[in-house]
Amino acid sequence: MNRLRDTKQEVTDEAPKARRSRTGTGQEGKVRFSRSLMNVLNGSFLTREKVLGNMPFILFCAGLMILYIAYGYHTERIVRNLSATDAELKEMRSEYITVRAQLEKKEQQSQVAAGIGELGLRESRVPPVKITVERSELERTRRP
């Protein structure tokens, strides 16, 4: 039932028999490396049972990589939008300051007096007077 335990027992049983000395010339290591490299290059390592057994994990990792790339593009787009919005905000702020300065200049009393002078009006030098009317007199004038 437990494949891992069975394979560990097989490996431990075979371990004393399979011991070899590593005092050789290293030719065996070179051959093993070249064989592994050829298996990777021609794709035959993908047909083995170990790879097929781990296929869900490999697909999960591939999906994570795709999500990571998509997240990078999404973040880049957000940064571009943020910088464009920041530039637009600076432009609107400078326009607001310019318009406010123009309005304050036009609202000055000397500017208003010059503007109404062109219309033939002049500024009154007499302060306004408050007119008081009694209620009875007001009611009398309202009735025809």
95-134 pLDDT, tens digit per residue, is 999 999 999 999 998 888 888 888 888 888 899 999 998 8
pLDDT at 74 (0 to 100)? 98
Residue 104 belongs to a domain: yes
Residue 112 belongs to a domain: yes
Total domains in the chain come to 1
pLDDT at 37 (0 to 100)? 86
Residue 111 belongs to a domain: yes
CA distance linking residue 26 with residue 29, whole number of Å = 5
pLDDT at 105 (0 to 100)? 93
pLDDT at 65 (0 to 100)? 98
- pLDDT reading at 61 higher than 80: yes
Percent of the chain with pLDDT over 90: 36
CA distance linking residue 1 with residue 65, whole number of Å = 35
| pLDDT single digits (tens) 68-95 | 999 999 999 999 999 999 999 999 999 9
Residue 62 belongs to a domain: yes
Residue 101 belongs to a domain: yes
CA distance linking residue 96 with residue 102, whole number of Å = 10
CA of 81: how far to CAs of 39, 76, 87, in Å? 47, 9, 10
Half-sphere exposure for 85 (CA within 13 Å, toward CB): 6
Residue 67 belongs to a domain: yes
pLDDT at 10 (0 to 100)? 61
The per-residue b/e assignment along 17-35, b for 16 or more CB within 10 angstroms, e otherwise, is: eeeeeeeeeeeeeeeeeee
CA distance linking residue 114 with residue 122, whole number of Å = 9
CA distance linking residue 125 with residue 118, whole number of Å = 18
Residue 85 belongs to a domain: yes
pLDDT at 7 (0 to 100)? 63
**Contact (Cβ atoms closer than 8 angstroms) between residue 123 and residue 116:** yes
Residue 100 belongs to a domain: yes
- Domain hosting 72: range is 55-119
